[in-house]
Amino acid sequence: MEKNYLGREDAPISAETWKLLDTTMIEAAKSQLSGRRLLSIDGPFGFGLKVIPLSDFETPDGITTSAFIPVNLVTTSFFLNKRDLAASERDRLVLDAGPVAGAAITCAAKEDDIIFNGIMDAPGLLKAEGSGSLTLTKWDKVGAAADQIISAVTKLDDAGFHGPYSMALSPAQYNLLLRRYPQGDGTEIDHCRTILAGDVIKAPVLKKGGVVLASGRQYCSLVIGQDMSIGYNGPYEDSLEFSISESLALLVRAPESICVLK
Q: Where are the alpha helices (DSSP H) in the chain?
A: 15-30, 35-38, 82-91, 98-117, 144-158, 171-176, 188-196
DSSP annotation of 76 reads E
Determine the average pLDDT of the residues in 176-183: 91
Residue 36 has a pLDDT of 95
Question: Which pLDDT score is estimated for 57?
Answer: 80
What are the pLDDT digits (tens) for 129-145?
999 999 999 998 999 99
Question: What is the helix (H) or strand (E) element at residue 74, kind and residue range?
Answer: strand 72-81
Residues 231 and 5 sit within 8 Å (Cβ to Cβ): yes
Is 244 a residue whose pLDDT tops 90? yes
- pLDDT at residue 208, as a whole number: 93
* 147-173: pLDDT as tens digits: 999 999 999 999 999 989 999 999 999
Ranges of each domain in the chain: 8-124+220-252, 130-219
Its pTM stands at 0.91
Q: Which of 87, 88, 56, 51 is nearest to 70 (CA)?
A: 51
Cis peptide before 12 (omega within 30 of 0): no
- What pLDDT does 2 receive? 56
Q: Which CATH fold topology does 8-124+220-252 show?
A: Major capsid protein gp5 fold (3.30.2400)
In this structure, are residues 48 and 3 in contact, taking their beta carbons and an 8 Å threshold?
no
CB 116 within 8 A of CB 205: yes
CA-wise closest residue to 46 among 223, 188, 198: 223
Secondary structure (3-state) at 122: strand
**d(Cα 135, Cα 193) in Å, to the nearest integer?**
20
Closest CA to 39 of 122, 124, 105, 99: 124
Which pLDDT score, from 0 to 100, does residue 3 have? 60
| CATH topology (fold) of 130-219 | hypothetical protein PF0899 fold (3.30.2320)
Q: Indicate the SS3 state at residue 88.
A: helix
